Amino acid sequence: MDKNKEVDKIIKSWIGIAIQDFYLAFVLGWNWAYQRAFFLEQGVEKILKAYILKKRESEFKNFDNEARENKIDKICREYQHNIEKLVKDTSNNEIQRLLDKDYDGYQGRLLVEKLPLIFEESRYLVPKNKSSAVPHKKYQRLETLPIYSSGLDKFCFAIGKKVLEILSKEFSIELKKEDIQKLCAATFDLTDNSIDRFCRVFFKE
């Protein structure tokens, strides 16, 4: 396998696990709000890292397998869970424009800022001053929690879908609806129609 194909295979693997995170968030739904939020953050983080890795492939493309894996690991660890830095380093206007849109009362830029806090909340009992709470727009003494908002789903899915579009357009790396259906079906072995429902929501059909 040539070096370009090897790198693209790695990128598709990152995309694949990101899509699986989005799917799990969709299946968990509102009864598992914190677990759902965990997988939404992870989906965004991983799919943005997939795009960053493709943009920075010259840093590891010609390495042998072990050196390449170590370099990829180092690049991804540079970002940790810093979604703001990941978004910034994409240097992509289409992704940046998503930050100015409203998602059920939450601006994309605010959700990017809050996603690391949401990630922490989904795993630990955090102090109130470290929570993702946002002051209510109308009632000053009240706060709202993005972790319970449908806007969080919509924003995270919008980021995921946009990165897929960009990877296809800029690098001819494609993961179509049919590929996602097969990936989820093979991984989770479900007999219900949740995969089809997820794809309809994710691709806004």
CB 175 within 8 A of CB 16: yes
DSSP state letter for 134:
E
Please report, to the nearest 10 degrees, the dihedral formed by the alpha carbons of residues 182, 183, 185, 189 taken in order.
140
Closest CA to 40 of 18, 62, 61: 18
**pLDDT for 74-126, tens place per residue?**
999 999 999 999 999 999 999 999 999 999 999 999 999 999 988 988 888 87
- pLDDT, position 62: 93
Instruction: State the pLDDT at residue 204.
Output: 78
Query: What stretches in the chain show pLDDT beneath 50?
Result: none
CA distance 116 to 50: 18
Closest CA to 28 of 205, 201, 194, 157: 194
Helix (H), strand (E) at residue 36: helix 33-55
Are 112 and 98 a contacting pair, CB within 8 Å? Answer: no
